[in-house]
Amino acid sequence: MHSLLLLFKAPLQAWGADSRFKTRSTNKEPTKSGVIGLVAAALGRSREESVADLAELEFAVRVDHPGSLMRDYHTARNWFGNKKNSQLSTRYYLSDAVFVVALSSPDRAQLETLEAALRRPVYPLYLGRRSCPANPNLVLGIKDGDGETVLRAQPWFAPTRVREQAYNPVSLQILRDARQGEPADTLRDTPVSFNPEYRQYTLRAVYRAEPVEVENPNGVEPQDDFMKEVTEA
Amino acid sequence: MTYFSRILLNPQRREARKLIASPQAMHAAVLASFPPDSPVSKDSRVLWRLDIQGASYTLYIQSPEEPDLRHLQESSGWESRPGETAPLGKLLNKLEKGQSWGFRFTGNPVKSLPVADGKRGKVVPHVTAEQQLGWLLHKAEQWGFTIAQDPETAQPLANVIGRNDQRFSRRNPHEDGALHSVTLRQAQFDGVLVITDVDLFKKSLLTGMGKGKAYGCGLLTLRNVLS
């Protein structure tokens, strides 16, 4: 098993799994459909083309920094038409979030093709939504091992500000495709077709793996003023 | 003897999430830190408070008896961060009239509406941050302290730093266990207080202030005024 690692560290990301119509939500972690859409864009596939080969990749995410939820009251208007009405929508984004994503496959050549495409993408790359351009250091490379194992071995990618405020050690959440018999949540984010006339997604079982503990030498020792006053009185 | 304890909860853990989400579950878990024959006294009771700052969840417990926090740590804490407990007595002995202390307090700000015949009316919550701060300024006197004032602007040195509405259902033992829905409005305050009546202040510290004491309200913690 080999894993292609991607770092998602742009100012804004949006990963909706079930939004329809005028409220466009975001999940707290990247969705498989969003990431596969990103890879398909890098490969230059049109929306009508099949993504079945990409949907078969195993998917795992590590949450390096959850970021914060941002709500955008969004208006759009056609300035050239006769219609005067603004189209209103509410869009949610994750701001300043950092994720490491692993796409795993036994076929290393396939991952190498994807890696090359992501380094020289045909279409521009976005983290889940058109208004969220991807960061330049997106591709971390291919490692041997399944997604969860490889993610456990990665260093922590949080920004300095986050490190300095966090404790030592920190624990990072890992979510991955569930295997047979594991307790799982379901999410409708496995893409079947991105064809705009016939978009379709199927269910994916998501397993919350045991969080990984990472050393954080810049971190603060939990200092507690209230406890200190009692113990040092 | 009174003890003060703290334990960090790990929000990644299922049991911890349950406690964080439900003040009833947390109350039960806190009380489970004491043996069933733990003495009940009027002068002091078990109080707790959950402080949430970013991703860190700190549970403070003040209790007449030393708690056994191992089960909490096993089910909802961190293996590498055991709970800490220390006697509160020394800090209590240090308190004197006129002293200034930094404080944090989570309360349940409510008032009762006036009705005829001097009876107590319907209890309604204070809703806005201004009302809630006003409630604290008004109540402080009954609890043996006042809120310090900024020498320049003469504004009270206290802020509402968090507001939270808890909703849950509860069985009423007086009505054959009928289910009632409970709404608990919590406000957390940070500020500086000045002790005006030491004995009254100590009593308020030990017995808790205001309503909702079983559900994470009423515990006031002190810290150095500079920090």
Domains and CATH numbers, chain A: 2-17+26-67+95-232 (3.30.70.2660)
The pLDDT value recorded for residue B180 is 83
Count: domains in chain B? 2
Within this chain, do residues B24 and B84 fall inside the same structural domain, yes or no?
yes
What single DSSP character describes residue B44? -
Residue A21: CB partners within 8 Å, gap ≥ 6? none
The per-residue pLDDT for range B162-203, each reduced to its tens digit, is: 888 888 888 877 777 788 888 889 999 999 999 999 999 999
Within this chain, do residues B150 and B213 fall inside the same structural domain, yes or no?
yes
The pLDDT value recorded for residue B36 is 84
Crossing angle of the two packed helices A32-43 and A108-119, in degrees rounded to 10: 70
Within this chain, do residues B49 and B83 fall inside the same structural domain, yes or no?
yes
Taking residues B110-139, report their average pLDDT.
Answer: 88
- Cβ neighbours of A233 in B, within 8 Å: 90-91, 93-94
Question: For chain A, which ranges sit under pLDDT 70?
Answer: 221-223
- Cβ neighbours of A163 in B, within 8 Å: none
Within this chain, do residues B217 and B111 fall inside the same structural domain, yes or no?
yes
Mutate to test the interface with A, among B47, B92, B222, B225 (most CBs of A within 10 A): B222
Structural domain ending residue among the three candidates B62, B91, B120 = B91
pTM of the model: 0.65
Structural domain ending residue among the three candidates B91, B112, B145 = B91
Complex ipTM, two decimals?
0.81
CB contact under 8 A, B86 and A211: no
Within this chain, do residues B117 and B214 fall inside the same structural domain, yes or no?
yes
What's B174's domain CATH number? 3.30.70.1210
The answer to whether A221 faces chain B, any CB pair under 8 Å, is no
Residue type, B99: Q
β partners of residue B194: B100, B146
Within this chain, do residues B41 and B59 fall inside the same structural domain, yes or no?
yes
The pLDDT value recorded for residue A43 is 94
Q: Which domain holds residue B67?
A: 3-91
Within this chain, do residues B141 and B103 fall inside the same structural domain, yes or no?
yes
Taking residues B206-214, report their average pLDDT.
Answer: 91
What's B26's domain CATH number? 3.30.70.1200
pLDDT greater at residue B2 or residue A82: B2
Within this chain, do residues B124 and B212 fall inside the same structural domain, yes or no?
yes
What is the least distance, in Å, from the CA of B14 to any CA of chain A?
11
DSSP B175-199: GTTEEEEEEEEEEEEEEEEEES-HH
Within this chain, do residues B87 and B102 fall inside the same structural domain, yes or no?
no
CB contact under 8 A, A227 and B6: yes
Within this chain, do residues B112 and B218 fall inside the same structural domain, yes or no?
yes
Percent of chain B with pLDDT over 90: 54
Rounded to whole angstroms, the Cα distance separating B158 from B189 reads 7
Rounded to whole angstroms, the Cα distance separating A120 from A19 reads 30
- Cβ neighbours of B88 in A, within 8 Å: 230
What is the least distance, in Å, from the CA of B91 to any CA of chain A?
5
Mutate to test the interface with A, among B90, B189, B226 (most CBs of A within 10 A): B90
Structural domain ending residue among the three candidates B75, B91, B107 = B91
CB contact under 8 A, B12 and A171: yes
